[in-house]
Amino acid sequence: MNGQVDIIKQWIIKGDHDLGTAKVTYMHIPEYLDTVTFHCQQAVEKYLKAFLIYQSATFRFTHDLVYLIDLITQKDSDFESYYDIVSEMQGYAVEVRYPNEIVFLSKEKVEYSILVAKNIREFVLMKMNLKVDYNDIIDS
């Protein structure tokens, strides 16, 4: 289990890097809405993959958050409440990264994405009874 915990923590820390990047970017360059939401999506993806590793689930490497939630809820229905949220965030993995894709982002959506990423992080860690220290930027 120790090796598994180390791998899980590595996934959480990588997610924290994405969440920290989203927060710093939003604080200093708030007009980069697409970049912020992309990093929030990436953080959520990594937190969910950490939980799948905790569940000893086999999963394909994908940006599909709904697929990841589907796998998780096969063993833990507590994640079902995140379906709608991650469904919306899923578009932030690819669509916002390229020109001419139509994704309407607002300040409210961006701030909500940051909040969702933080909440999913906390929920995943609580479910695993795990503590992972991170930079205070995530809390600001």
Share of the chain above pLDDT 70, in %: 91
Q: Which of 52 and 88 is assigned the larger pLDDT?
A: 52
Cβ–Cβ < 8 Å for 51, 121: no
Q: How confident is the model at residue 91 (pLDDT cuts 50, 70, 90)?
A: confident
Out of 14-18, 83-87, 88-92, 108-112, which region has the weakest mean confidence (pLDDT)? 88-92
Distances (CA, A) of 92 to 8, 53, 55, 76, 121: 24, 23, 26, 25, 18
pLDDT at 137 over 70: no
Structure token digits, residue 24: 């710093």
pLDDT at 32 over 90: yes
pTM of whole model > 0.85?
A: yes
Structure token digits, residue 3: 């090796």
* Cβ neighbours of residue 18 closer than 8 Å, sequence gap 6 or more: 39, 40, 42, 43, 46, 117
Q: How confident is the model at residue 1 (pLDDT cuts 50, 70, 90)?
A: low
Q: Which of 137 and 76 is assigned the larger pLDDT?
A: 76
* Cβ neighbours of residue 105 closer than 8 Å, sequence gap 6 or more: 33, 34, 37, 96
* Domains, in order of start, for the chain: 2-138 (1.20.120.330)
**End-to-end CA separation in angstroms for the chain:** 33
For residue 100, the model assigns a pLDDT of 66
